[in-house]
Amino acid sequence: MLISIASGKGGTGKTTLALLLAAAEPDITLIDCDVEEPNCHLFLKPEWHGQGKEITVMVPRINSNLCNGCSACSVVCLFNAIAISGGKALLFDELCHSCGGCILACQYGAIKEEKKPIGTITTGTSPILPNIHLLNGTLHIGTPSSVPLIKAIKQEVSDLKVDMLLDCPPGTSCSMVTAVKNSDFCILVTEPTPFGKHDLELAMNITRLLHMPTGVVINKNDEATGDKSIESLCQSRDIPVLAKIPHSLSFAKQYAAGFIPDEFKSIAINIWKQLHAERREEA
């Protein structure tokens, strides 16, 4: 079962929940898909297996000797990644989406493809929590899009027949969608503030678009405020609230120091019960 953990708003506790859930299962693969800012490894302090795998995308290389500046490639590039300057085609690979359109358009064989590194995938085992197998994606600084790296990570794990947790990037645009797509269940983590609620709704719109079974975890909850607006939102969307994790300053301090304490283990076990029941229902 592939369970993605996403949010909409940043900082609600995706990584925290991912680690809590991972700690509570006997044998689990945890995938850190927040490739711009991966954090799981800071808490797990894993022993890495080797140097990892370099992930590349194909980008065009223009042979200026064969190029006559006819601009056929520039015309078909809808990402404006090719400009004609000095009578030759000039590539801006940071804008390139690797679609191959320019190669198809060139009548003079002046464009070939070559690999460009965008990030790495590393795997490791945590000495602190040996039941967790960590797969971590890190984007090279300056690479604009995390989408190809996230796709590569999903591809790496597509054949695995084990239970997996996917720590997703924040937001609701292309990188979050790429991470959440094709998972079996999506847990949306929110906080009971107007920011949390606003962004939760946007994230719910995404999971609805993906026809993805969804559940919500309310983190940093404070029963004293009596704010039930998130619960009402979930009810109106027919999405279950899987858990409410209380706001805890002691937990926050431990988290700041890089530890996930046992404080909420029973909540994590309870979430797993609901997820396993969900799996039995689907089967």
Q: Is residue 85 at the binding interface for another protein, with CB under 8 A as the rule?
A: yes
Residues 163 and 279: beta-carbon distance below 8 Å: no
Residues 6+ apart with CB under 8 A from 280: none
Q: Is residue 117 at the binding interface for another protein, with CB under 8 A as the rule?
A: no
The CB-of-76 to another protein minimum distance in angstroms stands at: 5
The CB-of-34 to another protein minimum distance in angstroms stands at: 8
Q: Is residue 193 at the binding interface for another protein, with CB under 8 A as the rule?
A: yes
Q: Is residue 171 at the binding interface for another protein, with CB under 8 A as the rule?
A: yes
Own/partner contacts of 207-212, CB < 8 Å, gap of 24 or more, are: 207/6, 207/180, 208/237, 210/177, 210/180, 210/181, 210/186, 212/180, 212/183, 212/185, 212/186
Q: Is residue 15 at the binding interface for another protein, with CB under 8 A as the rule?
A: yes
Nearer of residues 225 and 266 to another protein, judged by Cβ: 225
Give the amino acid at 168.
Answer: C
Q: Is residue 274 at the binding interface for another protein, with CB under 8 A as the rule?
A: no
3-state secondary structure 101-147: HHHHHCCCCCEEEEEEEEEEEEEEECCCCCCEEEEEEEECCCCCCCH
Q: What are phi and psi of 73, to 5 degrees?
A: -65, -45
- Rule CB under 8 A: choose which of 4, 136, 172, 221 binds another protein: 172
Nearer of residues 129 and 139 to another protein, judged by Cβ: 139
Q: How far apart are alpha carbons 63 and 88 in whole angstroms?
A: 9
The CB-of-28 to another protein minimum distance in angstroms stands at: 20
In the structure encoding, which two tokens stand for residue 149, read together? 């790296």
In the structure encoding, which two tokens stand for residue 35, read together? 């490739």
Per DSSP, helices labelled H in the chain are: 14-23, 40-44, 72-76, 101-105, 147-157, 174-180, 194-209, 229-236, 249-256, 265-282
The CB-of-194 to another protein minimum distance in angstroms stands at: 5
Nearer of residues 184 and 201 to another protein, judged by Cβ: 201
Binding marks (x or -) toward another protein, 48..77, rule CB under 8 A? ----------------------------x-
Nearer of residues 154 and 275 to another protein, judged by Cβ: 154
Nearer of residues 198 and 273 to another protein, judged by Cβ: 198
Residues 6+ apart with CB under 8 A from 211: none
* Residues 216-245, interacting with another protein (CB under 8 A): 225, 227
DSSP state of 211: T
Residues 46 and 19: beta-carbon distance below 8 Å: no
Q: Is residue 122 at the binding interface for another protein, with CB under 8 A as the rule?
A: no
Size of the site for another protein (CB under 8 A): 65
Q: Is residue 250 at the binding interface for another protein, with CB under 8 A as the rule?
A: no
Q: Is residue 136 at the binding interface for another protein, with CB under 8 A as the rule?
A: no
Nearer of residues 1 and 210 to another protein, judged by Cβ: 210
- Which residues of this protein are in contact with another protein, per CB under 8 A? 8-12, 15, 36-37, 39, 42-43, 76, 78-80, 83-86, 88, 90, 92, 95, 97-101, 104-105, 139, 141-147, 169-175, 177, 181, 193-195, 198-199, 202, 205-206, 209-210, 225, 227, 252-253, 255-258
